[in-house]
Amino acid sequence: MKLRLQKFMADCGVGSRRACEDMILAGKVRVNDEVRTKLPVLIDPQTDKITVDERLLAVLAPESQVYYILNKPKGILVTTKDPAGRKTVYDLMPKVPQRLFSVGRLDMDARGLILMTNDGELAHRLTHPRYGVEKTYIVQVDGRMASPAVESIKKGAWLGPADGTDKPIRTGGLSVRVLARERRYTLLEVKLIEAKNQEVGRVLAKAGHKVRDILRVAIAEKITLKGLAPGQCRPLEAWEVQWLFKASSPEFHESKQAATQAWYEEKEMEKERKRLAKEGPPMDTAANEPINTAELWQPPVRKVKPGAMVRAVLRPKRGWHEPARGPRVPRPRPRYGQL
């Protein structure tokens, strides 16, 4: 049975599927003593000889899939090993026989939700932008962010090279919602599908607001940090694993896009109906009579509770200087010098 090379490597515990793709493109993988640097590469694990950095890969017995969620504190690295000896997320995980890797990354100064698993298929589906899995962040920035700055962030921005290692990129529009706006800081809710290299911090810094704190609170909306203190972890429940597979399926992503498009079209039609109700139906200048637009022009029906109009008519006008009865009498003003 033919398999993709990166999937076979991920099943053997080399790393995530995306990391295996990078290793293939870098020329570190040989298939039958031949370097393959172009994807896709299909292999037969029973007959082909696969080596990674001169290490032969053997077909491993299928191991049980495990899924953990970790609340990463600040100052913890998301990496397997650190040459400087700093603390990593693996120091916070329990000892399990499976080889775990992180789904995505968080910067050292960022905190929040990290998913740890040995399931390369699920890790690929959660990180690839084609599947449209959203990650939710709570971001605190310096200063009071005005509405025009928020709107500019939603449209995206051009980012220059980061550390001289990559090319300028055009970020997609971010889903941003203002949670709190104070004089010294602004609290935002940001949703991303694919987070490039420090994308959130760089986009906000370009808008003139430095990021003070960033917290990832959810993956696929339902997987949250509820009940987890910083530094704690727990295994995912069965329904959470099923939801991650469902939320990362192409069918779910397509249905979500279709629902969003239908919602947008309904909003546009509602705007058009309100405009026609205000202006009236358009006139046919040639025949000098209204055009029949019964399908589009539908005056909005105002729902009034029984007795509401009666109460509105009988409600007296409020005025602090008006007498209880009789005509309105102007308030007398004392002359200058009178007490």
Looking at the annotation, which residues are catalytic?
107
Question: What angle separates helix 120-127 from helix 17-25, to the nearest 10 degrees?
Answer: 80
Strands (E), 23-127: 29-31, 34-35, 42-43, 50-52, 55-56, 67-72, 101-103, 111-117
Alpha-carbon gap, residue 169 to 177, rounded angstroms: 23
DSSP letter string, 211-277: EEEEEEEEETTTEE-TT--TT-EEEPPHHHHHHHHHHTSHHHHHHHHHHHHHHHHHHHHHHHHHHHH
The 8-class DSSP code of residue 321 comes to T
Count, in order, helices (H) and strands (E) of the chain: 8, 19
Calculate the CA 220 to chain-centre distance: 8
Contacts of 228 (CB under 8 A, 6+ apart): 69, 70, 71, 234
Q: Which two tokens stand for residue 67?
A: 């899924």
Structure tokens at 117: 């698993």
Determine the distance from the C-alpha atom of residue 313 to the mean position of all C-alpha atoms in its chain, rounded to a whole number.
50
